[in-house]
């Protein structure tokens, strides 16, 4: 057997809390040490198995899949607690994450020998995890014996029953356990595992295990229970273990040393100098593990196909029928294209996939559930005629080869967005149609960023939560490996507590946790559907949200060749459906057409887009999009597609927007190096914006067919090396020259393709989105009140806060009516013939469903008379009742001795007494309670029914509703603004380009997107009483004012106005100063201070200005109870 | 001479007789087997986990001669007396409290047999010094 060795017991970071080894590092180390094979045996699952399998194969190392599982006691029947105390073994600490956590049992290592073993391991894990949503995930010995085919069992680590019994000296139990375990496996497939972890007890344990194995005639095998790749990473492992168990260091396992690293063969053989057969056994086992997962094959669920038909024949019939419905008249081009696509789909073997997607969308359509297909699926006429996507691929010149490339057999991916309010109905259909045993949700692996890494380390170091909060908050959203860099270079981190030298180790370890898997999450809408029972393909477990989820993420599922369907919920669909419903209820069904079926040519809609009046519009509302709207001046549907495509990370990074706009407005000539590029680039003025254009240009200039052209595009996009690029270029130029193109022209065309191929956007995706964008724009144009109310009813959605959505509606002349118990519903409603929105009660702090129902139910009987009447009939609890009083929902009810309704202060003062009286008398009596009004402070504003000043009403609205209904907070500073010469948002458009201005606004968003130059530019979206302000803070100014932007919420900005067609409307900041709105000398809060959770107002929340929340870690550490920390961003 | 005087003073090189064994190798193999035996527990193992494997604690700095070829201690000097390491009985490592510089321990320990007694030698990787951690029971 030589001097080699194979590690058969290895934990990666996918052991979630008990492993710090990165998969790439593990494989690289195994390669360095020339190990022929490597196993991965994470706790309780195969989370990282698929990616490990692929990476190891690519590195020329044989992957051995496996898992370390928790099993029932095998050494005796029954639970450990049934034994007399002196015979009990100490049970290991819990392992695994979330609901797959295993405890109350013993560790056993399972290795997969072949595909049967893989399926059995998946089944075993699924059975253990899914058996019950609560309780530990333990495999029973009986299950193990049933599903051990194709598996090799190792008796387990130092926390196995056998090891612990040996160390305790309980020979009988050790012997019984080892016999029962051996009995589970096929003969010759069970080994006694020995580990020399360099602890004082290791020699005794090994000697005992060897003696036991010899007496039972079981072979032994040596492992090192690898938990990290290099010795120095033990700290990382301890931190992860502590964080996983929510404990301070040393964590739950209390490992005594740093010896669980990836040791070389020489080190392992030195440790087992006297037991060479234990090391040889690793090679022998590795040789026997020959798993082939058959990656590259596809496994489709079965579609409904009538007898005598094939999936293709059914698909073909449906497609031709659909063609007649979609294209009137049917054109020869459409026929040719459909024939072409159907032939490719048949060749690739995908007809069943299309039929399944159609089945799902047909169900949604039959139930009136709004949906839209998106992504590259929009490139296909088949998906269009089947009713899956709405954008016409012929009209928009979308290319099928971008979706399905016959040269590359890849699983097609059709994403469909459904009305998020009714998505559950679609999901139920999928489970009912395919069976619960054949459907599971796709997992996501949540990984650490800078903030979560710092939190993980801070908590494992035992810092108080306030200190952890102070350390992690206010860090930018960057990857963890950049923490040191951002602390040193980002202006907003100038005074960050992590810069204190005593946190040096925190930063150092946090950086090493970059991208470390934290826990298994659930994909937003990805479902796996299989023909065979799903647990023969993937291990399953309960997700935190109570659904059964695969242990694999979407890439793993794709690698396995399983069908993944994205059933995503899109709230704009819900908002559009709601708008149509409310509008039809007001004006009649025939007056409001189906917005997705509209011809996208309404000039009023385009006027609105050109004004950048796009708040609420799908994909067109962000500050960047609004700026682009002003510059682009969309006039037709193609412009909307371009607008959606241009404001994307790729095109932005490639700075495509400027040449696009300049050429569109005739500021620079449209020149293309080859006449063949004119037609494909006609709609985008010679700029390559779409991926489809790369294909068309390659076809026109170099004569590539579209499949070949798509392969070229992919090669130019993904991880291209310089050599590879040179090879592609030579190929392209040669082909072009063969067609008579000059060498220089061919080189220039390739240079342009090379520059843009990596950044271009998928036009089909943009076209599918544009259909929804146009529908939302049309509804906002013609039914603004219904549209705004529907958006409010479906929050959270979109780019802006609900507060701004309402302010925008107000700016469109819609009256915003305050909530009132005698008028409001739970949801926002439209009143006064479409000119007013009544705020709903559902967003009021501490409101609950029971009370909402009671309010509406009782009001139908008769309106509420006064506070006592309201309390008695609804049974409102003091908390929600006080919230309703504070926001004015009970204003004007009842009459006091002074012959006026009670003020809010008086009602709040009366509330406890009324509740007590009602509790005493019960609900039966309907007498009017005669209570003298409690003495309260005098009304601040006797002219208003509430008795409260504007500032106080505003503060209460923000605090209890998160909205500003009385007025915009900055209206309170109008005198101060006049004195300072502050310009309002609505006036900016009138001022000439280059004017020096001072503006003031409350922050809606702050973004620092990536730029090609690597410089940081902050785009601030501010809001004043008249509208939105876009402020650009370039790096030199940002370095000066970065901390002001992070720490404060409202700013006074001075800068130069940019107001031209080429660049749009924005303020280029010279200086940004904090601004505190004051009323009668007191600061007015500008953000909601009441968390929606059950804990009530946070410490220091009510009325505290933003800047008070910025505390240092030192202050928090000194007195953790004295400060409440709020999210600043 | 104190406790274990007989063990400490035992030195076949100066003519002490072996009552039970004819030669040193036979003596050692029995001791080693006893130390490895899973069925025998030492009193020292009942101590707190961080003291595991340490019998009578000493913690004295000593001088150790290092065998570069075998990468084990070859001899050590304690109380002005030289002890040649006859056999390495056990090797273990301790790495604890790394997050607290005041409490951190980073040892590599050898349980050695010398002059008929069992001694725990430790190399402190932080301080780069040798210590006699304890004399075994």
Q: Taking CB atoms and an 8 Å cut-off, how many pairs form between chains A and B?
A: 62
SS3 call for A666: coil
**Average pLDDT for residues B92-110, to the nearest whole number?**
91
Of the segments A19-23, A541-545, B70-74, B85-89, which one has the largest average pLDDT value?
A19-23
Buried b (16+ CB within 10 A) or exposed e, A411-423: bbbbbbbbbbbbb
In angstroms, the Cα distances linking A634 to A329, A609, A638, A664, A665 are 29, 7, 8, 11, 12
Q: Look over chain A and give the mean of its residue pLDDT values, rounded to a whole number.
A: 87
| Contact check, Cβ <8 Å, B36/A207 | yes
Q: In this predicted structure, what is the pLDDT of residue A394?
A: 93
Question: Which residues 173-202 in chain A show a CB within 8 A of chain B?
Answer: 198-202
Q: Which residues contact A117 (CB under 8 A, 6 or more apart)?
A: A111, A149, A150, A151, A152, A291
Chain B nearest C-alpha distance from A11 (Å):
20
| Contact check, Cβ <8 Å, B90/A200 | yes
Distance CA A638, CA A645 (A): 11
pLDDT tens digit string along A1053-1084? Answer: 999 999 887 788 899 999 999 998 888 777 77
Q: Which residues contact A768 (CB under 8 A, 6 or more apart)?
A: A372, A373, A374, A375, A377, A378, A389, A390, A391
Structural domain boundaries in chain B? 5-35, 45-136
pLDDT at B44 over 50: no
Distance CA A520, CA A443 (A): 6
| Contact check, Cβ <8 Å, B38/A202 | no
Distance of CA A503 to the CA centre of its chain: 30
**Average pLDDT for residues A58-74, to the nearest whole number?**
95
**Average pLDDT for residues A599-609, to the nearest whole number?**
93
pLDDT at B84 over 60: yes
Distance CA B113, CA B111 (A): 7
Q: In this predicted structure, what is the pLDDT of residue A84?
A: 87
Distance of CA B94 to the CA centre of its chain: 15
| Contact check, Cβ <8 Å, A257/B93 | yes
Any chain B CB within 8 A of the CB of A207? yes
Contact present, A806 and A963 (Cβ < 8 Å): yes
In angstroms, the Cα distances linking A113 to A41, A226, A284 are 13, 20, 12
Q: Which tokens hold the place of A1085?
A: 């809060």
Any chain B CB within 8 A of the CB of A257? yes
Name the residue facing B95 among A171, A207, A234 (closest C-beta). Answer: A234
DSSP category for residue A690 = B
Q: Which residue has the tokens 């084990």?
A: B72
Q: Please give the residue that has the higher pLDDT: either A407 or A662.
A: A662
Q: In this predicted structure, what is the pLDDT of residue A491?
A: 80
Q: Which tokens hold the place of A496?
A: 């960050």
pTM of the model: 0.80
| Cis upstream peptide for A796 (omega within 30°) | yes
Q: Which residues contact A685 (CB under 8 A, 6 or more apart)?
A: A659, A660, A663, A664, A670
Q: In this predicted structure, what is the pLDDT of residue B134?
A: 82
| Cis upstream peptide for A329 (omega within 30°) | yes
Q: In this predicted structure, what is the pLDDT of residue B37?
A: 56
pLDDT tens digit string along A94-147? Answer: 998 888 889 989 999 999 999 999 999 999 999 999 987 788 899 999 999 999
Chain B nearest C-alpha distance from A172 (Å):
13
Q: In this predicted structure, what is the pLDDT of residue A1097?
A: 32
pLDDT tens digit string along A953-1009? Answer: 988 888 888 888 888 889 889 899 999 999 999 899 899 999 999 999 998 888 887
Name the residue facing B98 among A198, A235, A254 (closest C-beta). Answer: A235
Q: In this predicted structure, what is the pLDDT of residue A964?
A: 86
Q: In this predicted structure, what is the pLDDT of residue A1063?
A: 82
pLDDT at A641 over 80: yes
Q: Which of B99, B120, B136 best probes binding to A when mutated, by most A CB atoms within 10 angstroms?
A: B99
Q: Identify all chain A residues contacting B97, using CB atoms and an 8 Å cutoff.
A: 250
| H or E segment to which residue A438 belongs | none
The 10 Å Cβ neighbour count of residue A1005 is: 18
Chain A nearest C-alpha distance from B38 (Å):
5
Chain A nearest C-alpha distance from B17 (Å):
30
Distance CA A416, CA A527 (A): 12
| Contact check, Cβ <8 Å, B98/A254 | no
Q: Which residue has the tokens 């809609």?
A: A605
pLDDT tens digit string along A161-192? Answer: 999 999 888 889 999 999 999 999 999 999 99
**Average pLDDT for residues A478-485, to the nearest whole number?**
91
Dihedral pair phi/psi, residue A620, rounded to 5°: -120, 10
Q: In this predicted structure, what is the pLDDT of residue A1099?
A: 29
Q: Identify all chain B residues contacting A257, using CB atoms and an 8 Å cutoff.
A: 92-96
pLDDT tens digit string along A792-813? Answer: 999 888 888 888 899 899 888 9
In angstroms, the Cα distances linking A756 to A378, A651, A655, A660, A691 are 21, 8, 10, 13, 9
In angstroms, the Cα distances linking A381 to A329, A339, A341, A868 are 15, 10, 8, 64
Contact present, A337 and A381 (Cβ < 8 Å): yes
Q: Please give the residue that has the higher pLDDT: either A1127 or A642.
A: A642
The least confident of A25-39, A276-290, A918-932 is A918-932
- Relative to beta strand A836-838, strand A996-1007 is unpaired
**Average pLDDT for residues A814-831, to the nearest whole number?**
92
Contact present, A1003 and A1020 (Cβ < 8 Å): yes
Q: Which tokens hold the place of A837?
A: 């929105």
Chain A nearest C-alpha distance from B112 (Å):
13
| Contact check, Cβ <8 Å, B91/A234 | no
Q: Look over chain B and give the mean of its residue pLDDT values, rounded to a whole number.
A: 75
Q: In this predicted structure, what is the pLDDT of residue A779?
A: 96
State the ipTM, two decimals.
0.73
pLDDT at A717 over 80: no
Q: Which residues contact A858 (CB under 8 A, 6 or more apart)?
A: A864, A873, A874
pLDDT tens digit string along A484-527? Answer: 998 988 887 888 899 999 999 999 999 999 999 998 989 988 99
Q: In this predicted structure, what is the pLDDT of residue B56?
A: 58
Distance CA A627, CA A1054 (A): 19
Name the residue facing A200 among B92, B96, B98 (closest C-beta). Answer: B92
Q: Which residues contact A163 (CB under 8 A, 6 or more apart)?
A: A155, A156, A157, A205, A209
Interface residues on B facing A, Cβ-Cβ cutoff 8 A:
35-39, 41, 45, 49-50, 52-53, 90-99, 109
pLDDT at A26 over 70: yes
pLDDT at A565 over 50: yes
Distance CA A195, CA A271 (A): 9
**Average pLDDT for residues A246-250, to the nearest whole number?**
90
Distance CA A239, CA A248 (A): 8
Contact present, A71 and A77 (Cβ < 8 Å): no
Chain A residue with CA closest to B107: the answer is A257
Torsion of CA A397, A400, A405, A409, to 10 degrees: 160
The 10 Å Cβ neighbour count of residue A932 is: 9
Q: In this predicted structure, what is the pLDDT of residue B52?
A: 46
pLDDT at A1096 over 60: no
Q: In this predicted structure, what is the pLDDT of residue A303?
A: 86
A372 burial type by CB count under 10 A (0-12 exposed, 13-18 middle, 19+ buried) = buried
Distance CA A1099, CA A465 (A): 14
pLDDT at A73 over 50: yes
pLDDT tens digit string along A1041-1055? Answer: 888 888 788 999 999
Chain B residue with CA closest to A250: the answer is B97
Contact present, A1035 and A1015 (Cβ < 8 Å): yes
Name the residue facing A258 among B38, B45, B95 (closest C-beta). Answer: B95
Q: In this predicted structure, what is the pLDDT of residue A1107?
A: 35
pLDDT tens digit string along A926-958? Answer: 554 445 555 667 777 888 888 888 888 988 888
């Amino acid at each position: 057997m030589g001097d080699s060795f194979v590690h058969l017991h290895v934990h990666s970071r996918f052991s979630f809390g008990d492993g710090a080894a990165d998969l790439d590092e593990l494989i690289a180390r195994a390669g360095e040490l020339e190990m022929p094979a490597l196993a991965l045996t994470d706790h309780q699952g195969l989370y990282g198995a698929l990616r490990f399998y692929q990476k190891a194969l690519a590195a020329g190392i044989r992957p051995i899949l496996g898992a370390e599982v928790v099993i029932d006691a095998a050494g005796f029947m029954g639970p450990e607690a049934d034994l007399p105390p002196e015979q009990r073994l100490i049970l290991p600490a819990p392992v695994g994450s979330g609901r797959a956590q295993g405890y109350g049992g013993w560790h056993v290592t399972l290795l997969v020998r072949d595909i049967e073993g893989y399926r059995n391991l998946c089944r075993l894990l699924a059975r253990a995890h899914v058996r019950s949503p609560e309780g530990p995930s333990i495999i029973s010995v009986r299950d193990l014996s049933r599903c051990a085919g194709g598996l090799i069992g190792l008796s387990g680590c130092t926390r196995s029953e056998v090891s612990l019994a040996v160390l305790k000296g309980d020979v009988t139990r050790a012997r019984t356990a080892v016999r029962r375990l051996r009995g589970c496996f096929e003969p010759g497939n069970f080994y006694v595992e020995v580990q020399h972890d360099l602890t004082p007890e290791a020699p005794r344990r090994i000697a005992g295990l060897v003696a036991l194995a010899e007496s039972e005639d079981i072979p032994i095998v040596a492992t090192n229970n690898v938990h990290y790749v290099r010795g120095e990473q033990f700290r990382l492992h301890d931190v992860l273990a502590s964080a996983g168990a929510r404990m301070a260091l040393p964590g739950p396992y209390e490992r005594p040393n740093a010896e669980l690293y990836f040791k070389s063969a020489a080190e392992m053989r030195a440790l087992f100098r006297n037991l060479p057969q234990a090391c040889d056994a690793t090679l022998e086992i590795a040789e026997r593990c020959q798993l082939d997962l058959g990656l590259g094959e596809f496994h489709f669920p079965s579609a409904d196909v009538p007898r005598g038909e094939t999936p293709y024949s059914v698909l073909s019939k449906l497609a031709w029928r659909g063609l007649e419905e979609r294209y009137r008249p049917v054109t020869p081009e459409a026929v040719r294209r459909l024939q072409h696509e159907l032939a490719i789909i048949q060749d690739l073997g995908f007809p069943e996939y299309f039929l399944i997607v159609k089945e799902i969308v047909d169900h949604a359509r039959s139930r009136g559930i709004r949906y839209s297909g998106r992504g590259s699926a929009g490139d296909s006429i088949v998906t269009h005629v089947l009713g899956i996507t709405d954008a016409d691929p012929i009209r928009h010149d979308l290319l099928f080869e971008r979706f399905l490339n016959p040269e590359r057999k890849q699983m097609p991916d059709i994403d469909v967005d459904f009305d998020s309010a009714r998505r559950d109905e679609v999901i139920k259909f999928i489970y009912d149609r395919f069976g619960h045993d054949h459907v599971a949700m796709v997992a996501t692996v949540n990984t650490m960023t800078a903030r979560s890494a710092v939190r993980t380390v801070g908590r494992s170091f035992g810092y108080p939560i306030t200190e952890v909060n102070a350390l992690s908050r206010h860090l930018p959203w960057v990857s963890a490996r950049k923490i040191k860099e951002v602390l040193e270079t980002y202006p907003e981190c100038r005074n960050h507590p992590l810069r204190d030298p005593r946190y040096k180790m925190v930063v150092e370890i946090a950086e090493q946790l970059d991208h470390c898997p934290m826990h298994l999450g659930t994909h937003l809408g990805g479902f796996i559907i299989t023909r065979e029972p799903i647990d023969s393909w993937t291990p399953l477990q309960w997700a935190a949200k109570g659904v059964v989820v695969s242990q694999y993420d979407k890439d793993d599922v794709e690698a396995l060749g399983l069908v993944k369907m994205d059933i995503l919920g899109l709230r704009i669909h819900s908002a559009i459906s709601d708008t149509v419903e409310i509008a039809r209820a007001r004006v009649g069904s025939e007056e409001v057409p189906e917005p997705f079926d509209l011809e996208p040519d309404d000039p009023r809609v385009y006027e609105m887009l050109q004004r950048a009046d796009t708040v609420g519009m799908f994909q067109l509302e962000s500050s960047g999009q609004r700026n682009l709207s002003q510059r682009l001046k969309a006039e037709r549907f193609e412009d909307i597609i371009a607008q959606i495509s241009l404001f994307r990370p790729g095109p932005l990074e490639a700075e495509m927007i400027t040449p696009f706009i300049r050429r569109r407005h005739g500021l620079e000539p449209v020149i293309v190096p080859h006449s063949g590029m004119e037609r494909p680039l006609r709609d985008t003025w010679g700029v390559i914006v779409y991926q489809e254009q790369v294909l068309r240009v390659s076809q026109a200039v170099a004569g590539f067919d579209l499949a070949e052209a798509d392969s070229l595009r992919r090669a130019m996009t993904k991880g291209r090396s310089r050599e590879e690029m040179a090879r592609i270029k030579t190929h392209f130029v040669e082909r072009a020259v063969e067609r008579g193109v000059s060498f220089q022209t061919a080189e220039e065309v390739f240079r342009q393709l090379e520059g843009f191929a990596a950044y271009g956007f998928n036009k089909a995706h943009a076209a599918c989105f544009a259909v929804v964008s146009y529908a939302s724009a049309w509804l906002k144009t013609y039914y603004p009140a219904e549209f705004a109310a529907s958006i409010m009813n479906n929050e959270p959605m979109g780019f802006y806060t609900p507060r701004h959505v309402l302010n925008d509606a107000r700016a469109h002349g819609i009256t915003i009516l305050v909530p009132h118990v005698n008028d409001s519903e739970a949801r926002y409603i439209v009143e006064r013939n479409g000119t007013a929105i009544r705020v709903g009660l559902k967003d009021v702090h501490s409101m609950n469903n029971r009370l909402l129902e009671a309010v509406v139910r009782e009001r139908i009987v008769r309106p509420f008379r006064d506070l006592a009447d309201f309390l008695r009939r609804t049974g409102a609890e003091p908390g929600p009742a006080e919230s309703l009083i504070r926001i004015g929902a009970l204003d004007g009810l009842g009459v006091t001795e002074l012959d006026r309704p009670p003020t809010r202060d008086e009602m709040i003062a009366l509330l406890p007494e009324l509740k007590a009286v009602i509790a005493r008398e019960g609900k039966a009596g309907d007498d009017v309670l005669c209570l003298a009004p409690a003495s309260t402070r005098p009304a601040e504003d006797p002219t208003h029914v509430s008795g409260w000043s504007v500032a106080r009403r505003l503060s209460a609205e923000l605090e209890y509703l998160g909205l500003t209904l009385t007025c915009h907070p900055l209206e309170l500073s109008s005198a101060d603004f006049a004195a300072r010469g502050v310009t309002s948002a609505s006036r900016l458009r009138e001022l000439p380009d280059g004017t020096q201005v001072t503006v003031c606004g409350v922050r809606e968003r702050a973004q620092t997107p990536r730029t090609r130059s690597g410089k940081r530019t902050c785009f601030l979206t501010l809001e004043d009483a008249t509208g939105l302000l876009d402020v650009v803070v370039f790096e030199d100014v940002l370095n000066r004012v970065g901390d002001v932007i992070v720490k404060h919420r409202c700013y006074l900005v001075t800068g130069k106005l940019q107001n031209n067609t080429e660049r749009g409307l924005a303020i280029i900041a010279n200086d940004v100063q904090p601004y505190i709105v004051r009323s009668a000398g007191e600061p007015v809060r500008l953000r909601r201070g009441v968390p929606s959770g059950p804990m009530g107002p946070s410490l220091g929340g009510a009325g505290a200005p933003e800047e008070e929340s910025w505390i240092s870690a030192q202050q928090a550490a000194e007195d953790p109870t004295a400060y409440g920390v709020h999210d600043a961003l | 001479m104190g406790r274990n005087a007989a063990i400490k003073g035992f030195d076949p090189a100066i003519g002490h007789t072996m009552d039970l064994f004819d030669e040193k190798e036979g003596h050692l193999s029995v001791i080693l087997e006893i130390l490895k035996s899973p069925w025998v527990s030492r009193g020292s193992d009942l101590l707190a986990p961080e003291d595991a494997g340490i019998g009578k604690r000493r913690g004295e700095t000593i001088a150790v001669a290092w065998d570069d070829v075998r990468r084990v201690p070859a001899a050590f000097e304690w109380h002005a007396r030289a002890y040649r390491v006859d056999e390495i009985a056990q090797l273990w490592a301790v790495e604890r409290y790394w997050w607290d510089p005041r409490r951190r321990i980073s040892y590599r320990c050898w349980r050695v047999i010398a002059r008929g007694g069992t001694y725990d030698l430790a190399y402190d990787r932080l301080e780069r010094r040798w210590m006699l951690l304890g004399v075994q029971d």
